[in-house]
Amino acid sequence: MDWKDTLNLPKTDFPMKANLTEREPLFLAFWEERAIYKKMLEKRKGAPLFVLHDGPPYANGHIHLGTALNKILKDIIIKSRTMMGFQAPFIPGWDCHGLPIELNVERELNVKRGELPPLQIREACRKYAERFINIQREEFKRLGVFGDWSKPYLTMDPEYEAVIAREFLRFLETDQVYRRKKPVFWCPTCVTALAEAEVEYEPHESPSIYVKFPLTTETINFLERELKLVLDKPTFVVIWTTTPWTLPANLALALNPEFTYLLIELEGEYLIVAEGRLSALCVELGIDLPKILARFSPTLLEGKKAKHPFYERESLFVLADFVTLDTGTGIVHIAPGHGEEDYLVGLKYGLEIYTPVDEEGKFYPDTPLVGGLTLSKANEIILSELSNRGLLFRSGRITHNYPHCWRCKKPIIFRAEYQWFISMEAKALRTKALNALKNVKFIPSWGINRIQSMLESRPDWCISRQRVWGVPITVFKCESCGEILKDYKFYEKVIELFKKEGTDIWFTLTPEELLPENAKCPKCGGTVFSKEKDILDVWFDSGVSFAGVLERREELTFPADLYLEGSDQHRGWFQSSLLCSVGTRGVPPYKMILTHGFVVDGKGRKMSKSLGNVIHPQDLIKKYGAEIVRLWVSAEDYRDDIKISQEILDRLVETYRKIRNTCRFLLGNLYDFDPERHLIPFEKLPPFERYLLHCLSQSLNKIKRAYENFEFHLVTYEIHRFCSVELSSLFIDINRDYLYCEAPDSFKRRATQTVLYYALDTLVKTMAPILSFTAEEIWQNLPYSKGDLESVFLADLPDYDFQLSEEELSFWKNTLLLREEFLRALEIARKDLKIIGSSLEAELYYFPVEEYRSLLRDHAFWEYFLMVAKFEEVPDLEDPLFVSDEIKGLKISIRKTQYKKCERCWQRRPEVGTLENPELCYRCLEVVKEISK
C-alpha cells in the first residue's frame, strides 16, 4: 500500500513561482475594477483622518527610482494607516508650470523665446504637461500605488490656478510683496532674461585688468591715525576685473573679513592688497616683493571710502565672505546691478542696485563717458580713460569660462531688472515661520536644524519670472501715478475668470476688461491701468498646495498630518509651503515632515549617466516585478541614502521567495481548516503552540510599532525573520509530522493549524502595505472564509496579543538553549561520524546537569521536539560525542537506531514490525484505522 495517500499533504493553488511580471497586472485590474481604494475609504468613514499630502512631482519625463521610492513610501503609509484604522485618503498631484517644460516645448517647436505668441506656447506647454502626467500616472499605478488617480490635483487646473493667484493677492494685500531690481542672467543679443538652466559656460577671452582706486582724503587721514604713519605718496587699493564695463556701475569695494591686508610701497605709490595674495601677485606681475609698510584688519576699512576711478563719486568699503585669494588682489570691485554676490552685499549695505546698461547691452545715453556705447566699445574707452588717469595698474587678456546664451551662443551679462519679492521681514515672516516650525515633528529629527538654518539666512523670495508658462502675477498699476492696486476688490473679477477659464485670459484681455467697472486708482483717481507681464515662480504654485488641495478637497483637512519628500525639499517645497502658509494663515501646513535620502549605487555614489550606474524602475519592473521594487523601498532605511545594486536585488529576491514560500506552505496546510469550527483557544493549546503564538504576538507588536514610527525596514526584517526562524525552521519543521500524519481532525493537527492560521493571518495583513500584490494573491487564495472582505486592504491589522507567563518563557528559553546543544551533537554524528542522515535515525543519550535535569525529564516530548528515535538519560558518559560549552557538564552521545522505520510517517519506533500491520507504528496504525472508518 502507498501510505502517502493516507497523509494530509498540503493542497493549494497558490503557486510557488511568483511570476510577478505577468501576474501583477491582474491584481492592478482587480483593484481598479473593484474600486478597492474607494472602498478602503468608505469602510473607514468616520474614523480619524490621517492626511498625507502628496508633493507634486514635475510633469516632465518618466519617473525614476527616486520618484518611485517616494511614491511607494507614501503608499506604504497610506495602506498601513488605513489598516491601523485611519481614514487615509491619497490625492496625488503634479507640478505643471515652469521653465523646464517651456524650454522643452520651445525646443520641440524649434522656436526661440518670443517668436510665438504666449497663448500658443502656453497651449503647447499644457499639452506637454498632460502627456507626461499620463505617462507618470500609469507608471505610478504600475507600482501598485493606491490613490485617487482619476482626480489628481494639477497646478494648471483653472481652479488651482485661481487659488495660486488668490494666495498671491493675500501677500499683496498685506504689504508683504514689493518690487525691486535684482540682477539676472541677461542675453543682450536675444534681449531677454535667462534662467540658470539656459546658461552655458564656454571659454572666452576677456580683458584682465588691475585698477587702482584712490582713497578719499578722509580715509587716508584715518589710516594715518590708525596705523601711525604718514601717507606722503598717492595711496590706492587695487582690484582686478575681467569686465571693465561694470566699472561705471561700481559702488563698493569688498574685503574679506577673515583676511589680513597690507599697505605696500611700489613704484613710488602706496597700494593696498590682501596679504595672502601678495606673493602670488608678484609672481604674476613679475615684480620683486615690495616693501611692507603696515598690516591691518579689513574691519578698519569697513564703511570708509575710496574714489571712483573716473567718476566724481565714492565707492564704499564693505566686508564679504565670498572674496577669495584664488585670483585678483583680495579686494573685489562691487557693482550691485551686475552680479549676484555684488547684489547681495549691496543689499546688506543699502547700496543702490544700479544698472546703467539697457536691454540690448548698451549704456543708457545719459551715462557719463560711455553713454550709448556697446559693452565692448565701452571696455576700450574705459581702459584708455583709466590709462590716461594713471589708474590702470596692469592690463592684459585672459581666457576663462564665461557664461553664454544657450540659444545664440553669445556671451551674456548680469543685469538688474525689476523683480517681485515676498519680504521676509515686512510682516516678520521669517520670525513667524521659524516659530511655527517648533510645532512640527521632523523625521529624522535633524531636519528642523536644516530648514531652520536655511530659513534664517535666506534672502527675500524672488517670485517673478520673465516667462509665459505659469500663473501671471496679477497686479494692476495705475498709469498716471504708478500706484499698485492692492485691494482684493480690484481682482475679484480676475479670480472668477481664472476659475472658469484658466489664466490665459490675463494674456488676452485688456486691463479694462479684467478690472471691475469704474475702477479708480485710490491714490490719484486715475482710470487707466496696466497689467504686470511677469509670471510667478513655480515654487509658489506648489507652495500653496495646502490652499489648492488640503483646504478644498472635502476628504482632506488643513493642516496635513504629514508631508513626505526627499531631503532636498528642505529648501524647496517644505520651505515654500511653510512661507505661503505662515504668510497667509499664520500656521504651518503640516504637523510632521518626513524626509528620505537619495538613491545611490551599491558603493554609495549618486546615479549619473557619466558614471553609468543608473538603474531605471521600468527595467526593474520588467525583470523582477514592482513587488521587488516595493520590497527594496521597504527594506532600506530611507533616512540615509538609499543604496541599490545587483547584489541587493539578488538578496531581496531571496527574501521575497522565503516569505512567499512560507505563506504557500501555510495556505497548503490550512486547506481543511475552518477557523469558525476548528480554532483552538490559546488557553487550551499545548505548550509549544502557545509559545509560537507568543512569538507571533511579539513580532506583531514590533511590526505595528514599526509601522507607527514609519520604520518600514524593521517591518520587512521582522516579517522575514519570523518566517525563517520561528515558523519555518522551528515550528513547521517539528510539527510537520502532526500536520501530515495525525488524523485530519485530531487535536494535535488542529492545534498546529491554529498556529498556522494565526501566522498566515498576521503575515498576509502585515505584509500588505509593502508586498501588496503578494498579500492580495494570498488573500484571494485563502482556503477559509474571508467574510465580506473582498480585498486584504479592507482588513485591519490583527490585534491579538498572546502572552506567556514568566515560568513558561523561562522554560522555553532553556528548552531552546538545550535544543541548540543537541543539534550540535546531531550535526557531529551526521557530518563527522556519518552514522546518521536524518535526525530521525538517531538515538540520543545524555548525561545531564542538575540544573536542567527536570527540563529533560519528559523524554517523549524531547523525542518529538528533536525529531529523534530515542531520547534517554544515562548515569554517565565515558566517551561522549559532544561536551557542551554553553551548558557546563552536559554530555551527549548518539547512536544510530535499530528501530524500524514506519512506512507511513518515517519515524523509527520500537513497535514497528510487531503490530498487526508490520509496516506501521502504533500512532499511524490508529490513524489509518480512524480515517478508514
Instruction: Considering only residues 292 through 331, tell me which ones interact with RNA, judged by CB under 7 A.
Output: 322
Q: Select 367 or 576, whichever has its Cβ closest to RNA.
A: 576
CA distance 388 to 396: 16
Per CB under 7 A, the segment of 107-115, 243-251, 297-305, 817-825 that binds RNA is 817-825
Contact yes or no for 233/293 (Cβ under 8 A): no
Residue 729 CB, nearest approach to RNA (Å): 3
Contact yes or no for 267/234 (Cβ under 8 A): no
Residue 530 CB, nearest approach to RNA (Å): 32
- DSSP labels for 785-813? --TT--SGGGSPPP-------HHHHHHHH
Q: Select 10 or 371, whichever has its Cβ closest to RNA.
A: 10
Per CB under 7 A, the segment of 427-435, 548-556, 816-824, 871-879 that binds RNA is 816-824
Q: Which helix (H) or strand (E) holds 847?
A: strand 842-847
Contact yes or no for 355/249 (Cβ under 8 A): yes
Contact yes or no for 51/556 (Cβ under 8 A): yes
| 763 near RNA, judged by CB under 7 A | no
| 838 near RNA, judged by CB under 7 A | yes
CA distance 42 to 87: 9
Residue 630 CB, nearest approach to RNA (Å): 14
Per CB under 7 A, the segment of 232-240, 290-298, 392-400, 898-906 that binds RNA is 898-906
β-strands 464-465, 291-296: how paired? unpaired
Q: Select 157 or 340, whichever has its Cβ closest to RNA.
A: 340
| 732 near RNA, judged by CB under 7 A | yes
Residue 928 CB, nearest approach to RNA (Å): 12
| 125 near RNA, judged by CB under 7 A | no
| 600 near RNA, judged by CB under 7 A | yes
Per CB under 7 A, the segment of 3-11, 369-377, 487-495, 854-862 that binds RNA is 3-11
Among 128, 343, 574, 740, binds RNA (CB under 7 A): 740
Residue 17 CB, nearest approach to RNA (Å): 7
Among 311, 598, 747, 811, binds RNA (CB under 7 A): 598
| 609 near RNA, judged by CB under 7 A | no
How many CB atoms neighbour CB 125 within 10 A? 24
CA distance 871 to 861: 9
Angle at 226 between CA 221 and CA 228, to 5 degrees: 90
Residue 466 CB, nearest approach to RNA (Å): 19
Among 279, 453, 510, 701, binds RNA (CB under 7 A): 453
| 571 near RNA, judged by CB under 7 A | yes
- Cell of residue 335, nine digits: 557693482
| 18 near RNA, judged by CB under 7 A | no
Residue 121 CB, nearest approach to RNA (Å): 26
Phi, psi of 307 (to 5 degrees): -90, 140
CA distance 776 to 369: 79
CA distance 558 to 589: 6
What radius of gyration, in Å, describes the C-alpha atoms of the chain?
A: 39
How many CB atoms neighbour CB 123 within 10 A? 14
| 449 near RNA, judged by CB under 7 A | yes
Residue 912 CB, nearest approach to RNA (Å): 13
Q: Select 44 or 664, whichever has its Cβ closest to RNA.
A: 664
How many CB atoms neighbour CB 888 within 10 A? 9
Q: Select 10 or 276, whichever has its Cβ closest to RNA.
A: 10
Residue 496 CB, nearest approach to RNA (Å): 36
CA distance 680 to 746: 11
Angle at 623 between CA 617 and CA 624, to 5 degrees: 85
Contact yes or no for 749/738 (Cβ under 8 A): yes
Cα of 99 vs its chain's centroid, Å: 22
Nearest one of 569, 626, 627 to 594, comparing CA atoms: 569
| 654 near RNA, judged by CB under 7 A | yes
Residue 319 CB, nearest approach to RNA (Å): 15
The 690-729 site mask, x for binding RNA (CB under 7 A), equals: ---------------------x-xx--x--xx--xx--xx
Per CB under 7 A, the segment of 494-502, 592-600, 674-682, 876-884 that binds RNA is 592-600
Contact yes or no for 671/12 (Cβ under 8 A): yes
| 450 near RNA, judged by CB under 7 A | yes
Q: Select 555 or 650, whichever has its Cβ closest to RNA.
A: 650
The 332-371 site mask, x for binding RNA (CB under 7 A), equals: --------xx------------------------------
| 918 near RNA, judged by CB under 7 A | no
Q: Which helix (H) or strand (E) holds 393?
A: strand 392-405
| 111 near RNA, judged by CB under 7 A | no
Residue 409 CB, nearest approach to RNA (Å): 24
The 620-649 site mask, x for binding RNA (CB under 7 A), equals: ---------------xxx--xxxx-x-xx-
Residue 892 CB, nearest approach to RNA (Å): 13
Residues 405-444 that bind RNA (CB under 7 A): 444
Angle at 29 between CA 633 and CA 41, to 5 degrees: 70
Residues 369-398 that bind RNA (CB under 7 A): none
Contact yes or no for 386/378 (Cβ under 8 A): no
Q: Give residue 19's identity as a one-letter amino acid code.
A: N
C-alpha pair distances (Å), 492 with each of 485, 489, 553, 928: 12, 5, 22, 87
Q: Select 10 or 744, whichever has its Cβ closest to RNA.
A: 10
Residue 135 CB, nearest approach to RNA (Å): 23
Contacts 24+ apart (CB under 8 A), 277-281: 277/325, 277/328, 277/329, 277/330, 280/325, 281/329
Q: Select 375 or 629, whichever has its Cβ closest to RNA.
A: 629
